[in-house]
Amino acid sequence: MGHQFAEALHTAEDLDLEPFRTMQNHYNLTYREEEREMLPLCEKEDVAVIPWSPLAGGYLTRPDDAAHDTERGSDADWEGHRSNGGREINERVEELAAEKGLTMAQISLAWLLHKEWVTAPIVGTTSVEHLEDAVEALEVDLSDSEMEYLEEPYGAKAIQGH
């Protein structure tokens, strides 16, 4: 996908068209394939990154064994998020949230907000409380070692969401 976006950027430049200013891509702790090509390209070309599904469709907001406990989660297919280290990432998010007295969503969003190439995530909320939690994630500080701890279990995945 990165090469296609690079071609589109160069075509816009060659034709003296308005360049792309933003990229809305699938990116979260359990799906980081965008780090291979797209995010470095966006950074190089000064394209703002506005990831969708920053909480993995809700999977990063509650413990894995409670993933199906909500109306939305009851019929969700979590295997894509659970695979290749995703379940362990979920457990680490839960652990770090408990240590810091935060929600899992706040830890997951804080991780995303600590990534230099992310401009702002697209966050869908179902309540004012969830919105307030999301805003509070702006104030969460994660150390380099905490970031590495959250990222370490991740394994490559098949392309999703395109």
Identify the domain containing residue 45 by its residue range: 2-63+77-151
pLDDT for the residue 40: 96
The number of folded domains in the chain is: 1
Residue 30 lies in a domain: yes
135 located within any domain:
yes
Establish if 86 belongs to a structural domain.
yes
Query: What is the pLDDT at residue 76?
Result: 52
**Residue 1 to residue 16: CA distance in whole angstroms:** 23
Residue 68 lies in a domain: no
Q: What pLDDT is recorded for position 80?
A: 66
Q: Quick one: pLDDT at residue 74?
A: 45
Q: What is the pTM of this model?
A: 0.88
| Domain presence at residue 138 | yes
Residue 132 counted as domain residue: yes
**Where residue 108 sits, what CATH number does that domain have?**
3.20.20.100
Alpha helices in 79-126 (DSSP H): 79-82, 86-100, 104-113
pLDDT at 157: 85
Q: Return d(Cα 91, Cα 104) in angstroms, integer.
A: 10
Determine the 3-state secondary structure of 109 from DSSP. helix
pLDDT of residue 22: 96
In a domain, 29, yes or no: yes
Tell me what pLDDT residue 159 has: 77
Pick out the chain residues at pLDDT < 50: 73-75
At residue 1, the pLDDT reads: 75
